[in-house]
């Protein structure tokens, strides 16, 4: 079994499959190992990893209505983005999975996914008491008072429609170490003789018949699977690898001079993300230092009172996150914090394509932020900025605020808030959907509900690229569950094959014995 990408999902697949000593697993990872590297392992260091050597760091193409300057972090290290991220860990609401089923993902209902959630190996806990910052505590109190939403001690205890509280986070509070996919799924099993992990090996071409071409420094080699290939390189790099391999929309590939292996028109389509904007305040006093990862609490709102899941989410940033506001000329406070309204189920959809046939050239990411025809995404950000101001006016949070820096109190109309919100918007770093799962009869789907790549035998995909639609919450847990599901599907198929082989052998033996018996009875020799 060859797995490409030792990231969030890839670590799960490799760990679960290699638990069976009869299955040989080769895990190909483009980045280095995280073992013993405190820069990666200390959760609170995540900001320091952005645009570092551990980040593929993808630019985006100019956006007609969004922020063309933002960059998409994608981790280049064992554990993937779970080694890079803030480890906020939410089980999505039941309706998110119902939407997936409606989109053709038979077998992916909430009821079918919950057992996978229950067996996740990562250590998920609400932010520990020792890490609870008074600013975040006062934020939670103010959200409850201003908007009447419930306070959740554990967001994952039951499905919720709205609410505020400290986030569930995958970490070990005593040490501050992240419970990434690598830490939880790979570190305990590094000595398995049937698990080979090749770090710093970057895959750039796949032909299931001849193998997968990988680069390790200046050395190029080919690795051939005796079983399946499982692609887990993430929502940017899985479609990139497929397109480089000639698996994608034939007309685009031909234009770039890439030989077409399979015309799979959905590869790179359906590029989704959670965009977020920012309201930034200067603090009236220094913010105490305790925190799990500087964005420990949040707020979910439903604007439609009849809905049973949120349609607006906010992270509280306990630090001044000024990447985009500084570029627009806003002050950078010494002590500052912010709320980031984001769109749980955005309606704008983009596309990933290749710029050239050269594997080293970064792909073109066109998210088409805020281009949905009804203006739903834009209105969500405007509503979010207004709601954040309501929270900011409410004690005990209000007295932490010296002034609103961005968008600034002068900006009040929908048009002004939209223009600011879109110019300053960022990403929650959740690209997804570029190899969408759907029914086998769905032309635009890239994988079927068993995660099999259409038109190319022996290849499955298991990572954030298979999302048919964006979950309403931060997606890492969903990706981990995809890894668990992929391992189940592959194990079931291997077990089925072994069973069939065994049955075949038993039948042959039985036929042999019957023939011998017949010969003995008749005394015939051949």
Residues annotated as catalytic (active site), given as ranges = 430
- Cβ contact 414:385 at 8 Å: no
Question: Using the rule CB under 6 A, is 84 a contact of ligand FAD?
Answer: yes
User: Which tokens go with 410?
Assistant: 């002068």
- Closest CB 477 distance from ligand FAD, rounded Å: 6
Question: Using the rule CB under 6 A, is 88 a contact of ligand FAD?
Answer: yes
Question: Using the rule CB under 6 A, is 276 a contact of ligand FAD?
Answer: no
Question: Using the rule CB under 6 A, is 96 a contact of ligand FAD?
Answer: no
Question: Using the rule CB under 6 A, is 237 a contact of ligand FAD?
Answer: yes
What span, in angstroms and rounded, lies between the C-alpha atoms of 407 and 37? 39
What span, in angstroms and rounded, lies between the C-alpha atoms of 27 and 282? 46
- Given the complex with ligand FAD, which of 7 and 341 has the nearer CB atom? 7
Question: Using the rule CB under 6 A, is 275 a contact of ligand FAD?
Answer: no
Query: Is the bond preceding residue 127 a cis peptide, omega within 30 degrees?
Result: no
* Residue of 2, 6, 156, 208 interacting with ligand FAD (CB under 6 A): 6
* Residue of 14, 16, 25, 30 interacting with ligand FAD (CB under 6 A): 30
* Residue of 29, 96, 282, 484 interacting with ligand FAD (CB under 6 A): 29
User: Which tokens go with 97?
Assistant: 């999975």
Contacts of 107 (CB under 8 A, 6+ apart): 449
Question: Using the rule CB under 6 A, is 9 a contact of ligand FAD?
Answer: yes
- Closest CB 286 distance from ligand FAD, rounded Å: 25
- Per CB under 6 A, which of residues 418..447 are in contact with ligand FAD? 429-430
Q: Which long-range CB contacts under 8 A does 192-196 form with residues at least 24 apart? A: 192/18, 192/21, 193/21, 194/18, 194/21, 194/22, 194/23, 194/24, 194/25, 195/14, 195/18, 195/25, 195/27, 196/24, 196/25, 196/26, 196/27
* Residue of 63, 82, 277, 353 interacting with ligand FAD (CB under 6 A): 82
Q: How far lies 84's CA from each of 78, 177, 311, 504, in Å? A: 10, 12, 26, 48
Helix (H, G, I), strand (E, B) or coil at 147: helix
Question: Using the rule CB under 6 A, is 7 a contact of ligand FAD?
Answer: yes
- How many residues touch ligand FAD under the rule CB under 6 A: the total is 40
Question: Using the rule CB under 6 A, is 464 a contact of ligand FAD?
Answer: yes
Of the ranges 71-79, 171-179, 493-501, 518-526, which one interacts with ligand FAD (CB under 6 A)?
71-79
For binding to ligand FAD (CB under 6 A), which residues are involved? Answer: 4-10, 28-31, 46, 73-76, 80-82, 84-88, 202-203, 232-235, 237, 241, 429-430, 463-464, 474-476, 479
């Amino acid at each position: 079994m060859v797995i490409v990408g030792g990231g969030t999902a890839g670590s799960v697949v490799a760990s679960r499959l290699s638990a069976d000593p009869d299955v040989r697993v080769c895990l190909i990872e483009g980045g280095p190992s995280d073992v013993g590297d405190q820069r990666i392992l200390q959760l609170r260091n995540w900001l320091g990893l952005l645009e570092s050597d551990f980040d593929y760091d993808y630019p985006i193409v100019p956006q007609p209505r969004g922020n063309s300057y933002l960059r998409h972090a994608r981790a280049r290290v064992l554990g993937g983005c779970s080694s890079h991220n803030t480890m906020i860990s939410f089980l999505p609401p039941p309706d998110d999975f119902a939407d997936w089923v409606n989109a053709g993902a038979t077998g992916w209902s909430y009821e079918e996914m919950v057992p996978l959630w229950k067996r996740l190996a990562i250590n998920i806990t609400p932010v520990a008491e020792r890490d609870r910052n008074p600013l975040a505590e006062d934020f939670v109190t103010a959200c409850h008072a201003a908007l009447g939403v419930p306070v959740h001690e554990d967001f994952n205890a039951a499905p919720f429609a709205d609410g505020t509280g400290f986030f569930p986070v995958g970490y070990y509070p005593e040490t501050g170490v992240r419970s990434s996919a690598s830490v939880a799924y790979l570190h305990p099993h590094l000595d398995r003789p049937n698990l080979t992990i090749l770090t710093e090996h970057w895959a750039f071409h796949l032909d299931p018949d001849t193998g997968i071409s990988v680069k390790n420094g200046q050395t190029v080699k080919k690795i051939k699977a005796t079983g399946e290939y499982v692609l887990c390189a993430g929502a940017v790099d899985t479609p990139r690898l497929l397109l480089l391999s000639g698996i994608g929309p034939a007309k685009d590939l031909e234009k770039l001079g890439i030989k077409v292996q399979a015309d799979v028109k959905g590869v790179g389509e359906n590029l989704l993300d959670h965009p977020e904007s920012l309201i930034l305040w200067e603090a009236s006093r220094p913010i105490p230092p305790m925190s799990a990862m500087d964005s420990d609490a949040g707020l979910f709102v439903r604007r439609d009172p009849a809905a049973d899941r949120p349609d607006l989410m906010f992270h509280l940033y306990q630090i001044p996150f000024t990447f985009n506001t500084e570029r627009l000329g806003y002050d950078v406070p010494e002590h500052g914090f912010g709320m980031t309204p984001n769109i749980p189920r955005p309606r704008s959809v983009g596309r990933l394509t290749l710029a050239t046939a050269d594997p080293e050239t970064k792909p073109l990411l066109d998210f088409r932020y805020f281009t949905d025809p009804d203006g739903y995404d834009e209105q969500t950000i405007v509503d979010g900025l207004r709601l954040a101001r309501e929270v900011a006016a409410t004690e005990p949070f209000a007295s932490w605020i010296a002034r609103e820096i961005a968008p600034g109190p002068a900006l009040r109309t929908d048009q002004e808030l939209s223009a600011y919100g879109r110019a300053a918007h960022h990403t929650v770093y959740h690209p997804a959907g570029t190899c969408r799962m759907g029914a086998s009869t769905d032309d635009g789907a890239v994988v079927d509900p068993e995660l099999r790549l259409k038109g190319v035998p022996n290849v499955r995909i298991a990572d954030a690229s298979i999302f048919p639609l964006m979950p309403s919450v931060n997606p890492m847990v969903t990706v981990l569950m995809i890894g668990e599901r992929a391992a189940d599907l592959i194990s079931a198929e291997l077990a089925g094959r072994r069973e069939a082989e065994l049955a075949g052998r038993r039948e042959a033996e039985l036929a042999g014995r019957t023939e011998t018996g017949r010969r003995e009875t008749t005394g015939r020799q051949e």
